[in-house]
Structure 1
């Protein structure tokens, strides 16, 4: 089983802000990407509280 390291919440916040910033310069669709990244942040906080057991 391979362990996947999740990004830290602050990196997700910065990624969301950069995507929102790029929306003004490149493409307005980056706003949707920024919102999706921002909505994923609570998952990073709750995930360590409820660890899952690997299936054997």
Structure 2
């Protein structure tokens, strides 16, 4: 394994961690909104559906 491959692997891993943290932060923010607003924008139905399709 050369240095470039290792660097790409680390970048990929860091990117996944960043995505997970952003999703957690988004869920936390959205869940703090009043129920009526969450219902109007379709939360969590749209979000959960996205994950249910394997994305």
State the TM bucket, normalised to the shorter chain: 0.3 to 0.5
Structure with the largest fraction of helix = 2
Q: Which has the higher contact order (CA 8 A, sep 6+)?
A: 1
TM-score of the superposition, structure 2-length normalised?
Answer: 0.35
TM-score of the superposition, structure 1-length normalised?
Answer: 0.35
Report which of the two structures shows the higher radius of gyration computed on alpha carbons: 2
